Amino acid sequence: MPTDPTPPQENLFGLRRGELQDIGGLIPWLGHQDGVLTVEGTPFHQLWDSEDPWLVYLPGRARDNARSLRDAFARHFDVSLHFPLKSCYVPAIADALRADGHGVEVMSSLEWRLARRLGFAPEQVVANSPARTVGHRRELVAAGAGLIGVDSIEELERVEHEARSQGRVANIALRVNTLDEPGAFFTAGSKLGADLDGAAELVERALSSPSCSVTALHAHQLRHCTDAGIFHRMVRGLAELALHSAPPNRPFPVLNLGGGLESRFLLERAGSTAHDFADAARDALDILATPPSLVLEPGRYTVGDAAIGFSNVIGKKVNSKETWLISDLSSNILIPLPDLAYHPVPLRLSPDTAWERAHVGDATCAPSHLCRSAQLPVTVEQDGLAVLNCGAYTSVYAELWAFPLPHIGVYENGRLREVFGPAQESVMFDALYGAASGPAARPELP
């Protein structure tokens, strides 16, 4: 971890030259040996042939990240992690986390069924959503999902109806919004959660239901969070609601603190650790006579830095003194958002090479960027780039648009395995847009 904490807004720009030259100090599975970038000790050129772009997932890093958070919170609480499946559907990632004893969080019938196919038992599943189809509600209640999230009286009534019709009692978690301040992912009036002015009514109504068991209270209002202070305030608000709304001698057994933490390497780059957040939770919950069990839903923290991209630089331009490097790892998989950067790393380092500052973008006709103001050796135009912070919410948002998608692979136990390539993309493309039109097709030119 860097010795000098980085202000969180700097995570939106390229890494410092010194960080790139000692990349293993920031991300332990990366390094440069004799000037060549290595991934888990393997030279990059054994993973990438420099032709098409690739996105490579690292299940071992995802497992290590989840363990670091679980171990930090386990110093104070009985805690379980439920990986948000929406952040990454790659089976090898989910398999590694399930094998390490973690559960899963889903938001739809599609994700529920995927989680079940991946081997998660119903009781290992936390199901969150502001509303559901009748069929999804029915399958959650029938299977006995571990926690069914409810964040309105309207959804509570629908879950009650389903549970009553099946003669079952549904285990529910009531999602409430305890933050209304700058820096929260969302504030009062959102479609998500019950704001505090209505939360007490929701809790009271749910506690009186014979068809629902209020197992947990749930708060999740953070995004890219590196500040344990705002996390403390969110959890303290949840503790106060739990203290004042629980029946006498019947405290809520579980509090779900959600997710929203930044990718691990960026959180640590900003000067925080998982221990800081665990200690903040301990302090925030000290008003409760009985420590609750905790549920955590870390998506970006778990898998954000558990992948690496490989990209060619297919162009360079200077415009009004601003230098741009154009990457063939495109925004059809690296979604362009104003609060997100995909940090480039040089594949080769030489002490004799000059450096320059450039923005990195793709070749789409949109004024977007992958990373702003990145310090890089001038040789990346020939060598190509590695790309970081690309494990979460990337392949799940992939679009068949503009340019071919990258190959997607899994690197585990010293072996690279391709799970998606041009043939699979062509099947998808042809099904949507017409036969022989996908990237694997090679029509004859006139």
For residue range 399-439, list pLDDT tens digits in order: 988 899 999 999 999 999 999 999 999 899 888 888 666 66
Residue 205 has pLDDT above 90, yes or no: yes
232 within a domain of the structure (yes/no)? yes
The last residue of a domain, from among 272, 303, 334: 303
Q: Does one domain contain both 156 and 294? A: yes
Residues in CB range of 421: below 8 A, 6 or more apart: 407, 408
404 within a domain of the structure (yes/no)? yes
Residue 172 has pLDDT above 60, yes or no: yes
Q: Provide the pLDDT for residue 433.
A: 84
For residue 139, what is the domain's CATH number?
Answer: 3.20.20.10
Q: Does one domain contain both 413 and 276? A: no
* The dihedral formed by the CA atoms of 395, 401, 402 and 407, expressed in degrees to the nearest 10: 30
DSSP state of 348: B
Q: Does one domain contain both 41 and 77? A: no
Q: Provide the pLDDT for residue 444.
A: 58
Q: Which two structure tokens, joined as six digits, stand for 86?
A: 């929406």
Mean pLDDT of 383-387: 98
Give the DSSP H or E segment for 18.
helix 17-21
What is the dihedral sign for C-alpha 154, 156, 162, 164? negative
For residue 329, what is the domain's CATH number?
Answer: 2.40.37.10
Q: Does one domain contain both 278 and 141? A: yes
Q: Does one domain contain both 19 and 129? A: no
Q: Provide the pLDDT for residue 438.
A: 61
Sheet containing strand 313-319, edge to edge, reads 313-319, 322-327, 355-362, 371-377
Q: Does one domain contain both 125 and 269? A: yes
Q: Does one domain contain both 85 and 218? A: yes
443 within a domain of the structure (yes/no)? no
Cβ(377)–Cβ(35) under 8 Å?
A: no
Identify the domain containing residue 142 by its residue range: 60-303
Supply φ then ψ for residue 382, to 5 degrees.
-95, -35
Q: Which two structure tokens, joined as six digits, stand for 274?
A: 């998982």
442 within a domain of the structure (yes/no)? no
Q: Does one domain contain both 167 and 218? A: yes
Please tell me the total count of domains within the chain.
2
Cβ(293)–Cβ(79) under 8 Å?
A: yes
206 within a domain of the structure (yes/no)? yes
| Distance of alpha carbon 312 from alpha carbon 50, whole angstroms | 7
438 within a domain of the structure (yes/no)? no
Q: Provide the pLDDT for residue 434.
A: 80
292 within a domain of the structure (yes/no)? yes
Residues 137-157 as b or e (16 or more Cβ within 10 Å = b): bbbbbeeebbbbbbbbeebbe
Cβ(202)–Cβ(152) under 8 Å?
A: yes
| Distance of alpha carbon 168 from alpha carbon 166, whole angstroms | 5
Closest residue by Cα to residue 386 from 6, 39, 19, 12: 39
Beta strand segments in 25-78, E: 30-33, 36-39, 42-43, 54-57
The last residue of a domain, from among 303, 332, 366: 303
Residue 445 has pLDDT above 90, yes or no: no
The last residue of a domain, from among 303, 319, 336: 303
Note the pLDDT tens digit of each residue in 77-113: 999 999 999 999 999 999 999 999 999 999 999 999 9
Q: Provide the pLDDT for residue 1.
A: 38
Closest residue by Cα to residue 342 from 356, 325, 320, 354: 325
Residue-averaged pLDDT of the chain:
95
240 within a domain of the structure (yes/no)? yes
Q: Does one domain contain both 101 and 133? A: yes
Alpha carbons within 13 angstroms on the beta-carbon side of residue 291 total 15
Q: Does one domain contain both 298 and 195? A: yes
